Chain A
């Protein structure tokens, strides 16, 4: 069974204090890994797809990396507006359809 585990559950940073979020996964036949951002009262917003181990993607202060067992979301010099819950997810083809297994997220709070 596909599993996605995110850590830590919550992270509190001072503005400008860089850190990383972790997403570890077990899936048969990795077809990629998604990162989403979710703001309170909103739906998940797609950030990145990583397709294979060794790949990196960047967007503003966010950089996502992928290995064969885990993915990291590095946040460089975060700002208060980066506060959100970050979700990772892995797609798989099972039972005739594309299913996606989501982690429970890391809630990031950036303090001014």
Chain B
């Protein structure tokens, strides 16, 4: 029963490098999300997807890109890493039937990313 799986768990990047954070879920959830969590700041939404082929920006999308070609996978791309992107990144998924839905999100264990 894997749930939401994120890789890698840790990564150190140099300024200007690129990388992709991987996220996979096996619960057949239609919604997937990417958050970043900084100390004392809570979870901030970067991007979300309501289904395969459909993505949109959250609160803090600058410097990131996403794609969702299948229900299961939702990778997050950093193109030109900057020190401000040092954070812990969480992927989450949920099942939503629309306006009246109130299902909780289920989270992976995060990727700890440092940009030096």
Contact = CB atoms under 8 A, between A and B. Distances in A.
Contacts of A45: 107
A99 interface: yes
6 contacts: A34-B105, A43-B109, A43-B110, A44-B90, A46-B106, A103-B42
Interface residues of A, number: 24
B108 interface: yes
Interface of B: 4, 31, 40-43, 45, 48, 50, 56, 58, 90, 92, 94, 96, 98-110
Interface in A77-112: 87, 91, 93, 96-100, 102-105
Interface of A: 31-32, 34, 36, 41-46, 49, 51, 87, 91, 93, 96-100, 102-105
A7 to B, nearest CB: 14
A104 B40 CA distance: 6
Contact of A102 (B31, B42, B96, B100): B42
